Structure 1
């Protein structure tokens, strides 16, 4: 039998990448292409949906050229996506009516502050698991409807589509035949009832949205339609795995049981834990979402998002110029004076989970006579591990369990000093994936499993490097207490 291959697409904030998996689940090739970050004078962040779709076709074309395999052996597609980025387009023509509003953009803040919306903040949280915020698509959709000429009229007439990036790509890749989203992405819109598993009529009404205008919500491994990538394949293949990027990474990391969790280290970080069939309403600064619905089984998650992890390293390089590249940090950390009292809190525009304080600003505290370049770099690197422990502790407080080991991925995981320090601060095992493409891998694996190409336990085949706690307990407690004091001082 001829080998079969799977394509995974990860449409992220900075660009679009495509990967090719073989029928053993091995990553063979990766291609990627960045897109413009459109930033207005007001600081609003937008993306051009047409550019992103065109880039998607281009990365697939490049992938097939590099792969040098018969295109007819492509069997299916999985898609992971930047989650809260929101857009509207004409249903008949498929033409975007405006640029997409990126998840980082807070232009809809005024909508969340309206008395008629804010009065229902507790109800919104109870139903959706998400705190009222312009971060989520509910307010972004409302803003687009109110500020795009003709949008309200088209929405009222049933002539408008609105969705997150997964919906847009599925719609375009299927030639407008499929208008669908999955449970993971729907749960991040702040319009979806986590328990009733449907668009909530009342919440949609608060934001001026008709539920009939929203996409059909499907299982994450259902068939979202067929695509030939604008003729790049000789025949259409099914899109069979669609998940939000962090959810796809959780699945790709093999966190399939309650209490298992992962952290993705990037510009910021997403720490997510599987909570099984239980929805947990956080009392400690986290959010509840749907992880996925795969094989007919629904899984819920707890999540904490940190604003600045890898971005703290970028700050060292680009703003204060203490390093020329991120790769220097490991050597500098090891060269620093051991066990000083220096702490860096990277609250450049406030702190995310579990503190959620947008007014506080960063600090460098505990400066002594021996403080120099190496010590400042180490404090920045260690701040990543401290922030992730903050979220893991909050998960333990909410769920009554913490991950016995934390599975991690992303560029900063190459720093062995950071990974060992992370294990020491958590007091548990840290497992570093040998691949940075966990979102695309997770989506492609979901497609491969339902198509019968990959075994259900394929994610356990991923190679990982293990780190175990080595720090003396007394020193660990001392360092952790110092971090907590540094954070409290700026709140």
Structure 2
């Protein structure tokens, strides 16, 4: 009876389950989208119970599609959208409010005020900049605004977790309450030097320690699934053997295991992570210091840049402007442009992430004239993903003093050949796309497999990673990059300036 590892890949817009064999091949998968809730401008929420039900459905569907029994699953690994906050009643098991998503900006005002007095101490302790992106201010908002929440928290009646913690709790039937170091390092409540929750920060955000989960490494057993999770006929309990934030999971899945290795994941946003080994680099250029991964109590650090709008920009063209039927067609439309008009599309719909961290910026399109057609706008939107990524790569070069020659890419949009060639051109670096671009899912699978001995060691895993395509820079793009920077500068502080 062949055994497998399962990854639960809980993303921003969908839940997926993937079944992986020893060769690192995905032999079954299932994906299902869940609802996005926008109660007010700048607010983004999800129903945590719907997330759980969707994730469980995809797990059962993936196994059923290939007649795989629960007994054939050696372990489960979890990777997830980070920062998104769930607060639930530990007695009823029900969330007391919708999950507040990482994209949500409702706490911008609070964070801007806090940055006036605590910017340096929070950067020093957490490696993060003060921003509504991270979990701490979202948890505080729930405690301050949901009826009786503050009192329940003080009475030790509430749990807080990111999506990984919520899934672990649900998978184990409410028995296990854990997170991992990578997810913890994105909450703005975790000290990246002590590797513990920071009491001073908890006091600052007025969040009781008893709400927070215990922290484990990324490759160890968290607990076991409850009987009958997958079938009424099976009492088999499966080890949950890894938990890791999605971007760090992609770092591991791409086998970026040496200092200076970089991966770029093109998803809803674009996320760029550089492995810095056992060295914490304090960014002077708007990047974040994060835990890359932790195995057997050994910590690998990383530098990270976050682009808020990547694939989401193309989704906006599809769903809201309706000028493109499928996001994949952006490659074809971009290739139809045969003149030298350069349209710049700055997609700061809810502000700019790394390296600018400007919540006041708003989106704009530059370079319009009467000859501009929808093809130019689609091309500008697609190129904006590469331009924003390049902004982060330039900051990484500056912070790390490493000359970046090679970048590994993954995520859905890495299949877009126009995008990766343009990225290579403006970043003046070789881009490498692996044969299996599902590296986020593979990272969690590999870490779970290591924990239960499914793979012997990292060398056993490394041979599964294969190159699909290498792309080299083909043209001079200095003038294009200069134009992009000018376009971005003209969107900066927009909301602040027009409301003064």
TM-score w.r.t. length of structure 2: 0.91
CA distance in 2, matches of 1:246, 1:100: 20
> Residue 388 of structure 2 corresponds to which residue in structure 1?
387
Of residues 124, 127, 134 in structure 2, which corresponds to 1:136? 134
Does the CA contact (< 8 Å) of 2:273 and 2:304 recur in 1?
yes
> Residue 49 of structure 1 corresponds to which residue in structure 2?
48
> Residue 146 of structure 1 corresponds to which residue in structure 2?
144
> Residue 446 of structure 1 corresponds to which residue in structure 2?
447
**Secondary structure at 2:458 match in 1:** coil
CA distance in 2, matches of 1:387, 1:324: 24
Whether 2:272 is the aligned partner of 1:274: answer no
**Secondary structure at 1:88 match in 2:** strand
> Residue 208 of structure 1 corresponds to which residue in structure 2?
206
**Secondary structure at 1:92 match in 2:** coil
> Residue 336 of structure 1 corresponds to which residue in structure 2?
337
Whether 2:465 is the aligned partner of 1:466: answer no
> Residue 183 of structure 2 corresponds to which residue in structure 1?
185
Does the CA contact (< 8 Å) of 1:227 and 1:239 recur in 2?
yes
The alpha-carbon distance between structure 1 residues 172 and 28, as it changes in their structure 2 partners (threshold 3 A), is same
The alpha-carbon distance between structure 1 residues 388 and 296, as it changes in their structure 2 partners (threshold 3 A), is same
**Secondary structure at 1:375 match in 2:** helix
Q: How does 1:220-259 map to 2 (within 5 A)?
A: 220-228=218-226, 230-232=228-230, 233-259=234-260
CA distance in 1, matches of 2:24, 2:226: 22
The alpha-carbon distance between structure 1 residues 48 and 490, as it changes in their structure 2 partners (threshold 3 A), is closer
Q: How does 1:167-178 map to 2 (within 5 A)?
A: 167-178=165-176
> Residue 498 of structure 2 corresponds to which residue in structure 1?
none
Q: CA RMSD in A?
A: 2.2
**Displacement after TM superposition at 1:298 (Å):** 0.6
The alpha-carbon distance between structure 1 residues 25 and 487, as it changes in their structure 2 partners (threshold 3 A), is same
**Secondary structure at 1:225 match in 2:** strand
**Secondary structure at 2:301 match in 1:** strand
CA distance in 2, matches of 1:192, 1:163: 13
**Secondary structure at 2:142 match in 1:** helix
The alpha-carbon distance between structure 1 residues 155 and 323, as it changes in their structure 2 partners (threshold 3 A), is closer
The alpha-carbon distance between structure 1 residues 69 and 271, as it changes in their structure 2 partners (threshold 3 A), is same
CA distance in 1, matches of 2:386, 2:446: 29
CA distance in 1, matches of 2:41, 2:420: 38
Whether 2:309 is the aligned partner of 1:308: answer yes
Does the CA contact (< 8 Å) of 2:42 and 2:350 recur in 1?
no
**Displacement after TM superposition at 1:121 (Å):** 2.5
> Residue 95 of structure 1 corresponds to which residue in structure 2?
94
Q: How does 1:365-380 map to 2 (within 5 A)?
A: 365-367=366-368, 371-380=372-381
Equivalent pairs counted in the alignment come to 487
> Residue 73 of structure 2 corresponds to which residue in structure 1?
74
CA distance in 1, matches of 2:184, 2:93: 21
Unpaired runs of 5+ in structure 2?
Answer: 493-500
| Stretch of structure 1 that moved more, 403-412 or 189-198 | 403-412
Does the CA contact (< 8 Å) of 1:337 and 1:370 recur in 2?
no
**Displacement after TM superposition at 1:23 (Å):** 2.2
Unpaired runs of 5+ in structure 1?
Answer: none
> Residue 351 of structure 1 corresponds to which residue in structure 2?
352
Deviation readout 1:184-232 (Å, 9 max, x if unpaired): 0110010001111111111100111122331111111121101146442
| Stretch of structure 1 that moved more, 419-428 or 229-238 | 229-238
**Displacement after TM superposition at 1:459 (Å):** 4.6
| Stretch of structure 1 that moved more, 429-438 or 392-401 | 429-438
Deviation readout 1:106-153 (Å, 9 max, x if unpaired): 2233443556x7522321111111111222111111111122233222
Deviation readout 1:19-42 (Å, 9 max, x if unpaired): 001122211111122222222246
CA distance in 1, matches of 2:357, 2:109: 18
Whether 2:38 is the aligned partner of 1:19: answer no
